[in-house]
Structure 1
Amino acid sequence: MRGSQLTGYEAETRFLDDVTVELVKHSASDSDVLWAARVSTAGEKSLEEVGKDPARSKGLINYLMRDRHGSPFEHNSMTFLIGAPIFVFREFHRHRVGWSYNEESGRYRELQPNFYVPGAERKLVQEGRPGKYVFVEGSEEQHKVVKEAMEASYRQSYAAYREMLEAGVAREVARAVLPVGLFSTMYATCNARSLMHFLSLRTKNEQAKVPSFPQREIEMVGEKMEAAWSALMPLTHAAFVETGRIAP
């Protein structure tokens, strides 16, 4: 991430090329899957069965994932604090089943001048027709154009926003001039099953049986969420990967 070196009010403006994801709380482990699944055969004694046979437990999780018995993967919870451009959240909020969101509000607080500008590694050029296209590296000149155009536009829009606020205009009105490249923050709560559905669509992976073509910025969020989840539920994550990253 990088910040601008400007003077006056603009000294607070930051141009960022990465997203942030923090796991703020969780109740999620592979054992949550096991006791939920075993209640069907062990009844109220399912909790007692969890730690008895690790190899059998791994096999059960693999079976549930392979044969798409999905509900045992719902008995857990993870809450992430995510910082990303607004256009990422617009895509994110299309995921509704098994998700809860609360985002910072431009009605109730003054929005801060943090804006997204793609880093040098971000592919800029789209080649091919819709449904059959790829992204390729941009030239140095194209990256220069993107950086300069975005930063100038962001400065202008935020200056207009501040002008209205200083004139006494309500925040909910003044925010209309701000672009979707503005960073926002939100809490996103999900379970392992809903997260797997998200990852199957929003990450591109060679092990996936069904190819996905996510926008890079939401994929950056997905990669960070997957890293946190895989540490909490390693058997479940491994089964997800081994079955071609298809959610149960």
Structure 2
Amino acid sequence: MTLTPEQQAEIDELRSQPRQTLRAVSEGMEAHLYKAVPVLDHGFVRVVDYMGDDAAITQAARVSYGRGTKAVSNDEGLIRYLMRHWHSTPFEMCELKLHVKLPVFVARQWIRHRTANVNEYSARYSILDREFYIPEPDALAAQSVVNNQGRGEALSGEEAARVLEWLKSDAGRAYDHYQEMISTEGQQGLARELARMNLPANIYTQWYWKVDLHNLFHFLRLRADAHAQYEIRVYAEAICAMVKDWVPFAYSAFEDYRLGGAVLSARGLECVKRMLAGEEVTQETSGMSKGEWREFSSMLDG
């Protein structure tokens, strides 16, 4: 992980000046404020600001749902009820703002979640640092033979060494040319907004990313999943650790019903009922396609 001296100085200054406040405070998240958590080889995630806590969720729910929630006797039970029944609005009362340093190709996956506010480092105005994501050898994997979006077994031996060398040399050469194109020594120099197009997708960028808790949970459900691409999953896992300390009741419910839970189709539910009744159900008698049956069976096998 690399923080610039200016960024580190800003973090140190902010952490050295605690302030009293009347707003809702999460002690768990206070411990994360301004601390940069390393991710991948040069990346990080740090909490810049947050709003709300578990109590903000239940407060909003009791206002909007009124008497309908009075059967739920405590905040944790209410939050679990809201999560279980997909009542999303109360979770939108909490917000999180992160500063993230990540490879460009990860950022392009991440930005598909269009429910956040984003401000990215501009290579039109500034010169990008010479920092590239180079995978660890065990993260160099072949294309999966069963999943067009996934990885298979890790490369090994000469092939792995050759790929790593290409990644390093290609990135270095592209950056050398980038520097030469924008140089002003003895030449006019190409505009930064044009020179950047020659940079590889594994160069690092940075952004501020602000999102409410409901949409953050949706992001984490997809990106912290074991099937997500490794390079974005490690960021999601780092954020999960922060959210767990920030809103422990909400995160516990999310972990139970979303991360660790499963949604059955009507056909899937009918198959489970038939199995519980002692019937042997196969793909041919299930009414499911081969792909659906494979996923259904995998879910049951755990």
**Other-structure match for 1:8:** none
Contact (CA 8 Å) 1:123, 1:135: kept in 2 or not?
A: no
Q: How far 1:204 moved relative to its partner?
A: 1.9
Query: How do 1:154-233 and structure 2 match up within 5 A?
Result: 154-166=171-183, 167=187, 168-205=189-226, 213-233=227-247
**Other-structure match for 1:113:** 130
Q: How far 1:135 moved relative to its partner?
A: 2.7
CA distance in 2, matches of 1:224, 1:180: 22
| Partner-residue secondary structure (3-state), 1:136 | strand
**Other-structure match for 1:25:** 49
Structure 2 vs 1, CA of residues 177 and 41 (structure 1 numbering), >3 Å: closer, same or farther? closer
Residue type of the alignment partner of 2:103: P
Residue type of the alignment partner of 2:194: V
| Partner-residue secondary structure (3-state), 2:132 | strand
**1:143 aligns to 2:160 (yes or no):** yes
**Other-structure match for 1:6:** none
Q: Which has the higher contact order (CA 8 A, sep 6+)?
A: 1
| Partner-residue secondary structure (3-state), 2:139 | coil
Find runs of 4+ consecutive structure 1 residues off by over 4 angstroms: 131-134
Q: How far 1:127 moved relative to its partner?
A: 2.6
Residue type of the alignment partner of 2:130: P
TM-score by length of 2: 0.67
CA distance in 2, matches of 1:18, 1:125: 24
Residue type of the alignment partner of 1:90: R
Q: Deviations over 1:110-151 (max 9, x none)?
A: 111100100133151223133585532221433312221111
Q: How far 1:76 moved relative to its partner?
A: 1.2
**Other-structure match for 1:12:** none
**1:70 aligns to 2:70 (yes or no):** no
Contact (CA 8 Å) 1:19, 1:220: kept in 2 or not?
A: no
**Other-structure match for 1:241:** 255
User: Where do 5+ consecutive residues of structure 1 fail to align?
Assistant: 3-15, 206-212
Structure 2 vs 1, CA of residues 221 and 65 (structure 1 numbering), >3 Å: closer, same or farther? same
| Partner-residue secondary structure (3-state), 2:175 | helix
CA distance in 2, matches of 1:135, 1:35: 47
Q: How far 1:42 moved relative to its partner?
A: 4.9
TM-score by length of 1: 0.80
| Partner-residue secondary structure (3-state), 1:129 | coil
Which structure: larger Rg?
2
Q: How far 1:64 moved relative to its partner?
A: 0.3
Structure 2 vs 1, CA of residues 24 and 142 (structure 1 numbering), >3 Å: closer, same or farther? farther
Structure 2 vs 1, CA of residues 92 and 125 (structure 1 numbering), >3 Å: closer, same or farther? same
Q: How far 1:25 moved relative to its partner?
A: 1.0
For residue 89 of structure 1, the aligned residue among 88, 107, 125 is 107
The alignment of Structure 1 onto Structure 2 pairs a total of residues equal to: 218
**Other-structure match for 1:39:** 63
CA distance in 1, matches of 2:59, 2:171: 51
| Partner-residue secondary structure (3-state), 1:116 | coil
Q: How far 1:192 moved relative to its partner?
A: 1.0
* Identity over aligned pairs, percent: 33
| Partner-residue secondary structure (3-state), 2:138 | coil
| Partner-residue secondary structure (3-state), 1:243 | helix
Residue type of the alignment partner of 1:202: R
Q: How far 1:18 moved relative to its partner?
A: 5.4
Superposition CA RMSD, Å: 2.5
Q: Deviations over 1:28-65 (max 9, x none)?
A: 3111111010103559xx9xx9xxxx961110000000
More strand by share: 1
